[in-house]
Each structure stands twice: as C-alpha cells, then as structure tokens.
Amino acid sequence: MVNRRRRSGFRILLAIYCGFVFFFLVAPLFVVFPISFSAARYLTFPPPGFSWQWYLSYINDPAWIQATITSIKVALGTTVLATLLGTMVAFSLVRGSYPGRSWVDRLVAAPIIVPNIIIAVALYGVFARFQLVGAWYGVMLGHTVYAIPFVVLVVGAGLRTFDQNQELAAMGLGASRLEAVWHVTLPQIRPAIISAAFLAFITSFDELIIALFTSGTNATLPKKMFENIIFEIDPTIAAVSVLQILLVGIVVTLAARFGVGMNPIR
C-alpha cells in the first residue's frame, strides 16, 4: 500500500519533469509564429500589432524567392538521385555476400559519421577545381552524398523484412528476375522507399553547411536564412520559418500517409 502510494508519487514527479522538458522542446517553435505577424519594424516581443508585412516582404523579395526555388530544385534532384543510388546499394548490401561487402557497408554509413563541415569543405575544394561552385546540381551532388545513408537505413530495414522466396516463386511461375522484382518485391517495399524519398527531400531542404560552401552566389533557402540572421536580423526570417515549418509538416504528414511513417523511433 505504502509502496503503491510512493510509486504514484513518483509518476507525478516524472510527469511534471517531462512536462518541463516537453515545454523546453516545443516552446521555442511557437515563439516564431507571433513574431512573423508582428507590426513592428524590428525584432521585438510581444509584437505591438498584427500585420502581414513580413510575409509580403518575403514574397516581394526576388532573392528570397530565388533561394526558395533553388532549394526546391536541389531537394527534388537529391530525392531522385539518393533514392535511386540508396535503394540499389541497399539491395546489394542486404542480399549480397561478396568480399568487401563490410567495406561497402562502412563506406555507405560514413557520411553520417564524418562531420558535415569536413564533407562540405572537401567538396568545396573539388567543386572549385571543376568550377561547379554556385551550380545547383553541385549542391545536389553534395546533398546526395549526405542523404544516401538515410535511404539505405530505411530501405534496408524494409528489405530485411521481405521474404525473398516470394520472388523465387514468381520466377518459378515464369517471371523473369526483373519482372519478379518489379511486380513482387518493389510493391511490398514501396512504403519504405517512399519514406526514404521524403527523408532525402527533408535532409536536403534543411541542409545548411554543404550549401554554405558549395552554393556560391546561388544561395539555397537555409543559406539565405543563415546570412539573414548574421547580417540583418529582421522578422522576414520568422515568416520564412513559419512557411518552412508548414512545408515540412506537410511533407511529414504525406510521408506518414504513404510511407512507413516518419517516426524514427519505430
């Protein structure tokens, strides 16, 4: 009896403690919303009145729009390339057993472990030599390096739960290997591939450091935001932040609807 009471006391303490942590995690995001509708001309809190001016200043500034277009182009390119390359190598890693497989495994995982700043500067060196700095597809190549491990992680997990005998059965019934993979395997791991694609998109869309070095004057959205924060911190960036939170929210919701879910815990 005493024990039970003590335990429920512990639960209440735990709930209060976690409540604080949850507040710490979420509160900063909600700060951005009121600021983006501020009627003041500079950053101040609480905002003195309501206005759309910072959203208008975003829409009417060609530099912001250009950065947004560049970011979307880069992210779409990364999504296609990383999903393709990642899925292929995931098949190879899960199903193959060849000498050097463990080294391929390490090579594919490495871009997560090597700090981004090192990848960024190294690529900057390469791109500078081939005059790729400032080209959107240069940034796309860099982001693909960084996104491949995530794709392999998600697609690999999906592939491991797939029973390869189904493919053999299809081939036994007269399908070619390609037909078997296309009609039997791919439809079943489609949720994993879709999740991986969304993950690649968000990874690229949010990435700053590689873009900071390799995008040159053709800034992506995060780079433009970074420079804006450093040089002229005005509430335009709050409006951009809100739009970005909404976009990522839409992407995550879509992924949860069509993929295996964007909950990295499962």
Partner 1 sequence: MTASAGLAASFRYTFGRGNPNRRQVLLGLPTVLFLLFLFAIPVARFMLLPIADGTIEPYVKALTGELFLLVIWNTFKIAAYVTLFSFLLGYPVAYFLTVAPPVWRLIGFFCVLIPFWTSILVRTYAWLVILGRRGIINETLLSAGIIETPLAMLHSTPAVLLGMVHVLMPFFIFPVYSVMQRIDTNLISAARGLGAPDWRVFLSVYLPLTLPGVLSGATLVFILSMGFFITPALLGGGRVTMISVLIEQYVNTFLDWQFAGALSAVLLAVTLIAYGLMKWAMKGDKKW
155-194 residues in contact with partner 1 (CB under 8 A) are none
Q: Which is nearer to partner 1, 95 or 183 (CB)?
A: 95
Q: How far is the CB of 149 from partner 1 (least distance, A)?
A: 9
- The residue within the footprint of partner 1, chosen from 111, 134, 191, 216 (CB under 8 A), is 111
Nearer to partner 1, 187 or 264 (CB): 264
Residues 74-103 that bind partner 1 (CB under 8 A): 85-86, 88-89, 91-93, 95-100
Cα torsion 25, 52, 63, 253: sign = positive
Tokens of 156: 């690999």
* Interface region with partner 1, contact rule CB under 8 A, candidates 44-52, 58-66, 168-176, 182-190: 44-52
For residues 12 and 173, which CB has a smaller minimum distance to partner 1 in the complex? 12
Residues between 56 and 75 with contacts to partner 1, criterion CB under 8 A: none
In the complex, the smallest distance separating the C-beta of residue 60 from partner 1, rounded to whole angstroms, is 21
Which parts of 136-155 interact with partner 1 (CB under 8 A)? 141-142, 144-145, 148
**Burial class (CB within 10 angstroms; exposed 0-12, middle 13-18, buried 19+) of 246:** exposed
Instruction: Choose which of 63, 107, 168, 169 interacts with partner 1 (CB under 8 A).
Output: 107
Question: To the nearest whole angstrom, how small is the minimum distance from the Cβ of residue 3 to partner 1?
Answer: 8
DSSP secondary structure letters along the chain = -HHHHHHHHHHHHHHHHHHHHHHHHHHHHHHHHHHHTB-SSS--SS-SSB--HHHHHHHT-HHHHHHHHHHHHHHHHHHHHHHHHHHHHHHHHHH---TTHHHHHHHHHHHHHS-HHHHHHHHHHHHHHTT-TT-HHHHHHHHHHHHHHHHHHHHHHHHHTS-THHHHHHHHTT--HHHHIIIIIHHHHHHHHHHHHHHHHHHHHH--HHHHHHSTTS--HHHHHHHHHHH---THHHHHHHHHHHHHHHHHHHHHHHSS-S-TT-
Nearer to partner 1, 1 or 25 (CB): 25
CB nearer to partner 1: pick between 145 and 218:
145
**Region from 10-18, 53-61, 164-172, 182-190 binding partner 1, contact rule CB under 8 A:** 10-18
Query: Does residue 24 belong to the site contacting partner 1 (CB under 8 A)?
Result: yes
Closest separation between CB of residue 33 and partner 1, Å? 10
Q: How many residues sit in the footprint of partner 1 (CB under 8 A)? A: 83
Q: Which one among 114, 168, 169, 186 touches partner 1, defined by CB under 8 A?
A: 114
CA-atom Rg of the chain in angstroms = 23
Half-sphere exposure of 212 (CA within 13 A, CB side): 16
x/- letters, 229..258, toward partner 1 (CB under 8 A): xx--x---xx--x--xx--xx--x------
